[in-house]
Structure 1
Amino acid sequence: MIVVLMVWPSVKAAQETVRRDSERRVRCESTDGAVERCLVDTRRGVRLLQELSEGVCAEGRTWGVEVDAIWVRDHCRAEFLTGFGGSGIDTGYTDRVVRCESRGGRWNQCPAETSTGLEMVRQLSKNPCIRGQNWGWDKSGVWVSGGCRAEFRAVGPASERKAKVRIIRCESRDGRPQQCQVDTGGMVKLRRQLSKAPCVEGKSWGHDRGGIWVERGCRGDFEIGGGGG
């Protein structure tokens, strides 16, 4: 008599397989300094695992996370671990973030959910992004032109209930004064300083009806609409 033993994989082994599938090592490289997007599911978070360049990978400046990709720029080269927490984009209905960039001043359109409208959450370009002039949306997605580069988010019921916060980057290059045109509504605060030169409100940065101004080498990300000064 022949006895056939059926061995079923344990629940623990199955869970380990699922965990390995959801955790991926991704190499993303900006070899010529240009922006490079590496498509990957970022919903479970992204961590910088190993930098392959020489100290140029800084989150928010030379690498970051979109809904469906990791982006790198300015010669950042690194391996990233996905599916293990860390930085990430909440892909809920109201937090779908889309990056759209007008390179060389050219018109560009990026696929996006626009049925409920869009808002700009972070400007990435020196050129001001002004709704209706060099950015907007239609049924096909969000469009930009005139050098506008920014991140956009679908407007939904949840984002209408909370205070709308926008992040604007404004930079004084070589110590020169710079005005970043944006409707501040009188509510601005420095969220993150990016420069070695200090950003001191009233001395090297401030805001007025024309937007946010910086000088003396101050470079920073500014929060608008979050209850700042």
Structure 2
Amino acid sequence: MVIRSIAAWMGVAIVAMAIAPGADAAQEILRRDSERRVRCESNGDEVTRCAVDTRRGVRMLRQLSEKACTEGKTWGVGVDQDSIWVSQGCRAEFLTGFGGSGVSSGYAERVVRCESRGGRWNQCAFETAGGMELVRQLSKNPCIRGQNWGWDRSGVWVSGGCRAEFRTVAAGGDENDDRPRLRIVRCESKDARPQQCQVNTGGSVKLRRQLSKAPCIEGKSWGYDRGGIWVERGCRGDFEIGGGG
């Protein structure tokens, strides 16, 4: 009886020793997954960057917003692989170090918002070594490079009521490449009055997002030429320039 009891006790101990490491390993995996989870949220149309090491990849774990979270359009990885960005109302949980994107992607990799309030000159500190481009105009006043916005070594500057989002031009880009770059311009017809938004369209514009209840119909309530975009009859929208007509 004593021998059987000892044998039974040893069997239980061996089983316990076999199970314990597995349980600890599972807890360790759960702990690591918890540490790798990052919640990143964009409120409204703003671009939000969440600092996190993304060198070992990122994948979206769970979408929290009604607005779609689409990789390369409304979320992606920062150009230095040190952050996740979200835009256009995307809110989600992401898991790092678990495959998926490991390189930068999308429109908002290196974006800064700079605003001239009350028409005053303003400079926004930012890395501008690769040059800058305007990606989305936020103000009613047109933002024209060299007139009311530009950049130097210290950052981006704006004046004359220009408010916009700017992006660094990718390093290694061809300075002689004169193809139109993607930009977003907001143009609004208030109280159904005609409005002209001065911007170099490069001959290519399409409606990206309608903001008004009144329909925006090309040729009827909005249109464009090389000098700018026009809207009327209450059309308000964000227009994409350089993305193909």
After TM superposition, the score normalised by the length of structure 1 is 0.67
Aligned to 1:95: 109
Instruction: Provide Cα deviations, 1:163-184, integer angstroms capped at 9, x if missing partner.
Output: 6211111111121111111001
Q: Is the 8 A contact 1:100 1:143 kept in 2?
A: yes
* Contact 1:25/1:79 (<8 A) preserved: no
Q: How does 1:34-53 map to 2 (within 5 A)?
A: 40-41=50-51, 49=64
Aligned residue runs from structure 1 range 81-120, under 5 A: 81-83=92-94, 90=104, 95-120=109-134
Aligned to 2:220: 203
Note if contact 1:47-1:84 (Cα within 8 Å) is conserved in structure 2.
no
Deviation, 1:201, is 1.0
Amino acid at match of 1:41: A
1:95 Cα shift? 3.5
Distance 1:70 1:110, change over 3 A: farther
Identity of aligned residues (%): 57
Identify unmatched segments of 5+ residues in structure 1. 52-56, 73-77
Please report how far the alpha carbon of residue 145 of structure 1 lies from its aligned counterpart in structure 2 after TM superposition: 1.7
**Paired AA for residue 170 in structure 1:** C
Decide which structure has the larger Cα Rg and report it: 2
Matches for 1:85-164 after TM superposition, within 5 Å: 90=104, 95-156=109-170, 164=181
Residues 1:216 and 2:233 aligned together = yes
Given that 2:216 and 2:236 are in contact with CA atoms closer than 8 Å, whether structure 1 keeps it comes out as yes
CA distance in 1, matches of 2:220, 2:21: 73
Return the alpha-carbon distance in structure 1 between the equivalents of residues 121 and 186 of structure 2. 21
Distance 1:226 1:71, change over 3 A: closer
Verify the 8 A CA contact 2:64 2:93 in the aligned structure 1.
Answer: no
Amino acid at match of 1:226: G
Within-5 A mapping of 1:68-83 = 80-83=91-94
Query: What CA deviation, in whole Å up to 9, does each residue of 1:10-44 have, x standing for no partner?
Result: 2x5444334323434578889xxxx9997733876
Residue 213 of structure 1: how far off its partner (Å):
0.6
Structure holding more helix per residue: 2
Is the deviation greater in 18-27 or in 142-151? 18-27
- CA 1:95–1:37 in 2, change beyond 3 Å: closer, same or farther? closer
Aligned partner (choices 208, 214, 217) of residue 191 of structure 1: 208
| Count of residue pairs the alignment pairs up | 201
Structure 2: where are the runs of 5+ without partners? 1-16, 97-103
Asked if the contact 2:75–2:90 (Cα under 8 Å) also holds between the matched residues in 1, the reply is no
